[in-house]
């Protein structure tokens, strides 16, 4: 942890991605928490003039509360390194890798972590015929928060009918039945396992609409599965080169025991409100939301 004096904090939020609204909520909550911790905080809705805004403001640290493309895919990280401003969370390479779901899965597999079959196809190909035997999921390769996720079940009459917001290239991934588990890694250490309960698919509404999901933590799963989630999340954090806080999501087919556990993706900019998954896990370890935000500031650096 750095002993650097960092009093002026610029919190980046909003931005132009599909996750803008979620980022605004995260940013405002983090800004409020940092003010309570005694920092001078400036809230910045990141736009095309971000470089000039930061040059004029000259913050000690940038707290990155952006979600989605541009904010967590290495783009803003590269800008901050160019400006030589210390910033939170992961650096350029780790952010780019984690946002690219197919490439991050290649990294997982190379490090012996369990993944499921997937492929990249054009949007047109995904709508023309089944790219693989159903059931499968179609989703953007470089977005998060369950933006644009389509489940094609085994009884589907045809391939997915994707809307116009889907990108030209999409990921098609074999559907894994079972439970949704997630693990936060903070300072290289896995905190706990959360079991996410929903009445249906864990989509955008389940994540962000009040009452859309229930979080059970620590998850009530067999000890070998619990321990594997912790280990795999730490290994994924290291394999991708993450810094600060990350969150790795899993699917677990309980009928198959430990063999039914697979990694879906790692989020380098997890949601940051007091009731978000990562802060909930920190709170279970006795780390308040304000303390977590302060730790991220203290952990900030250039060239991450």
Q: How confident is the model at residue 2 (pLDDT cuts 50, 70, 90)?
A: very low
Q: Is 208 a catalytic residue?
A: yes
| Stretch 144-159: mean pLDDT | 81
Q: Is 36 a catalytic residue?
A: no
Say yes or no to pLDDT of 144 above 70: no
For 97-115+177-268, CATH number out of 1.20.58.1610, 1.20.1290.10, 3.10.20.600, 3.30.470.20 equals 3.30.470.20
| Stretch 191-198: mean pLDDT | 94
SS3 call for 14: coil
Annotated catalytic residue, options 87, 136, 150, 208: 208
283-290 long-range contacts, Cβ below 8 Å, gap at least 24?
A: 284/191, 284/192, 284/217, 284/218, 285/191, 285/192, 287/186, 289/29, 289/33, 290/33, 290/34, 290/36, 290/37
SS3 call for 277: helix
Say yes or no to pLDDT of 1 above 50: no
Q: Read off the pTM.
A: 0.91
Q: Cis peptide before 276, with omega less than 30 degrees from 0?
A: no
SS3 call for 136: strand
Give percent of the chain with pLDDT exceeding 90.
84
Q: Cis peptide before 97, with omega less than 30 degrees from 0?
A: no
Contact 27, 62 (CB under 8 A): no
Please list, residue by residue across 163-201, b when 16 or more beta carbons sit within 10 angstroms of its beta carbon and e when fewer do.
eeebbeebbbbbbbeebbbbbbbbeeebbbbbbbeeeee
Class (C level, CATH) for 8-89: alpha beta
Annotated catalytic residue, options 104, 142, 145, 246: 145
In order of 63, 76, 126, the CA distances from 273 in angstroms are 14, 21, 35
Annotated catalytic residue, options 19, 29, 180, 203: 19
Torsion, CA 71, CA 73, CA 79, CA 85, rounded to 10: 70
- In the block, tokens 């989020």 appear at 267
Instruction: Report the first-to-last Cα separation within the chain, whole angstroms.
Output: 14
Q: What is the pLDDT of residues 251-276, one digit of tens each?
A: 999 999 999 999 999 999 999 998 89
Annotated catalytic residue, options 17, 64, 141, 267: 267
Residue 288 burial class via C-beta count within 10 angstroms: exposed 0-12, middle 13-18, buried 19 and up: middle
Of 137, 130, 190, 188, the residue nearest 166 (C-alpha): 137
Of 79-88, 113-122, 175-184, 208-217, minimum mean pLDDT range: 208-217
Say yes or no to pLDDT of 205 above 80: no
Q: Is 265 a catalytic residue?
A: yes
Contact 22, 145 (CB under 8 A): yes
Q: Is 271 a catalytic residue?
A: yes
pLDDT mean across residues, the chain: 92
Annotated catalytic residue, options 73, 173, 203, 249: 249
Q: What is the pLDDT of residues 44-86, one digit of tens each?
A: 999 999 999 999 999 999 999 999 889 999 999 999 999 999 9
Annotated catalytic residue, options 73, 271, 290, 299: 271
- The tokens for 295 are 């730790």
């Amino acid at each position: 942890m750095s002993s650097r004096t960092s009093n002026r904090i610029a919190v980046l939020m909003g931005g132009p991605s599909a996750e803008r609204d979620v980022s605004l909520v995260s940013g405002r909550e983090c800004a409020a928490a940092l003010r309570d911790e005694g920092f001078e905080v400036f809230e910045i809705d990141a736009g095309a003039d971000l470089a000039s805004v930061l040059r004029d403001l000259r913050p000690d640290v940038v707290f990155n509360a952006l979600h989605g493309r541009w904010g967590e895919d290495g783009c803003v990280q590269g800008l901050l390194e160019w400006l030589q401003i210390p910033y939170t969370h992961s650096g350029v390479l780790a952010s780019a890798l984690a946002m690219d779901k197919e490439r991050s899965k290649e990294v997982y597999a190379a490090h012996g972590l369990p993944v499921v079959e997937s492929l990249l196809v054009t949007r047109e190909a995904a709508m023309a015929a089944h790219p693989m035997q159903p059931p499968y999921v179609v989703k953007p390769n470089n977005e998060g928060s369950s933006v644009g996720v389509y489940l094609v079940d085994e009884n589907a009459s045809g391939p997915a009918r994707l809307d116009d917001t889907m990108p030209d290239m999409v990921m098609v991934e074999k559907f894994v039945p079972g439970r949704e588990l997630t693990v936060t890694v903070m300072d290289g250490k896995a905190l706990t396992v959360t079991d996410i309960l929903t009445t249906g698919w864990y989509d955008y509404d389940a994540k962000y609409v009040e009452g859309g999901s229930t979080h059970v933590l620590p998850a009530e799963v067999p000890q070998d599965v619990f321990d594997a989630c912790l280990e795999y999340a730490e290994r994924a954090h290291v394999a991708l080169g993450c810094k600060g806080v990350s969150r790795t999501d899993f699917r677990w087919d309980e009928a198959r025991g430990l063999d039914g556990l697979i990694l879906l993706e790692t989020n380098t900019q997890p949601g940051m409100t007091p009731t978000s998954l990562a802060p909930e896990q920190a709170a279970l370890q006795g780390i308040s939301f304000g303390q977590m935000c302060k730790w991220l500031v203290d952990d900030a650096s250039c060239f991450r």
